[in-house]
Amino acid sequence: MQLGMIGLGRMGANMVQRLMRAGHECVVFDTDPNAVAALEEQGAIASTDLADFCAKLSRPRAAWVMVPAAVVDTVIDQLEPHLEPGDMIIDGGNSYYKDDIRHAKRLHANGIQFVDCGTSGGVFGLERGYCLMIGGDTAAVEHLDPIFAALAPGAGEIERTMGRSGAYDRAELGYLHCGPNGAGHFVKMVHNGIEYALMAAYAEGLNILKHAGVGRADHAIDAETAPLSEPEFYQYELDLPRIAEVWRRGSVVSSWLLDLTANALHGDPELTTFGGRVSDSGEGRWTSIAAIETGAPSPVLTTALYERFSSRGEAEFANQLLSAMRYQFGGHHEKPED
């Protein structure tokens, strides 16, 4: 079938390619004409603006929006005047599910369907397929089924879950209609919240391994330095790339994120190309807000989020204040960096 794609960045462009490989027709638009031209060469139908984009879509139109969360509002506002009742907007980016609910309400009032689709897979999605978490009315979601099926990974080589047999459930093919509007992004949001914590688990653990030789260093003896009473227990020099590698086979912690960690560490064991300022892009925040608003205790997820804030220097004033208090009650001066 046919799909229109607005936003041809890393994600959007790869998704268009995957759809075309599966035989679907794609009309594409991006504010960057080079991104449009690149896909036109591969067989996509180019468009020059949103009016042109909508004119080139057959009815009912299906317009997939794949842009940063902060500009989704603007794109929908600009798109809507070119649409007609029965058309569909799919937001496949990392939008806040509360915005979906708002968008759906407004668009439904004008007869336009809105579908929210959380999309996981990153740069590997082109080959590996995208895991899709979908929210919206059943009719619209069913109409788009061939698109979702083509984007999703399919059953692949993965062993079936115990107890499942017979025809494959769509969830086993890698896409799921999660519920009414917002449900898709809600599930994707929590997916990313989990992702942050999984990443933090590996990062903290490997950092401990990195510290396993602290007993080999000289250790200051003064009232400002916690004593290391048994340095003989911290004499190791561990090979982190090989440890990540061995955990990939047969261990309880094997995962796709660990595979990526092994890639990164094998290529650059000291990770010298990274400074350690870790971005967060919204979903981790929204997951924690949902945890707070629903009363679901999630200290591991939220602490992982906060570690990213701290990595970017956002704890600095708090830390200065701790040193200031220590100076106040104990006359403690800060120790300079080694």
Catalytic machinery residues? 188, 195
How many residues form the binding site for a second copy (CB under 8 A)? 180
Of 77 and 84, nearer to a second copy (C-beta) is 77
Selected binder of a second copy within 2, 69, 82, 149 (CB under 8 A): 69
H/E stretch holding 91? strand 88-91
Of 53 and 186, nearer to a second copy (C-beta) is 186
Residue 247 binding a second copy, by CB under 8 A: yes
Q: By C-alpha distance, which of 84, 86, 60, 63 is closest to 75?
A: 63
Contacts with a second copy in 258-287 (CB under 8 A)?
Answer: 258-268, 271, 274-282, 284-285, 287
d(CA 100, CA 185) in angstroms, rounded, equals 8
The DSSP symbol for 80 reads: G
Residue 305 binding a second copy, by CB under 8 A: yes
105 Cβ contact partners less than 8 Å away, ≥ 6 residues apart: none
Selected binder of a second copy within 28, 132, 141, 144 (CB under 8 A): 132
Of 41 and 222, nearer to a second copy (C-beta) is 222
Of 2 and 311, nearer to a second copy (C-beta) is 311
Is the Cβ–Cβ distance between 65 and 39 less than 8 Å? no
Selected binder of a second copy within 42, 48, 58, 207 (CB under 8 A): 207
Residue-wise DSSP of 160-219: PPTT--SSPPHHHHTEEEEESTTHHHHHHHHHHHHHHHHHHHHHHHHHHHHTTTGGGS--
Is the Cβ–Cβ distance between 62 and 3 less than 8 Å? yes
H/E stretch holding 14? helix 10-21
Q: By C-alpha distance, which of 220, 222, 224, 226 is closest to 323?
A: 224
For strands 45-46 and 2-6, give the pairing.
unpaired
Q: By C-alpha distance, which of 93, 64, 83 is closest to 1?
A: 64
**Smallest distance from a second copy to CB 72, Å:** 9
**Smallest distance from a second copy to CB 338, Å:** 9
Of 45 and 260, nearer to a second copy (C-beta) is 260
d(CA 41, CA 36) in angstroms, rounded, equals 9
Residue 22 binding a second copy, by CB under 8 A: no
Contacts with a second copy in 163-192 (CB under 8 A)?
Answer: 163-164, 169-176, 178-180, 182-183, 186-187, 190-192
Residue 24 binding a second copy, by CB under 8 A: no
Residue 257 binding a second copy, by CB under 8 A: yes
Residue 209 binding a second copy, by CB under 8 A: yes
Contacts with a second copy in 90-129 (CB under 8 A)?
Answer: 94, 96-99, 101, 120-125, 128-129
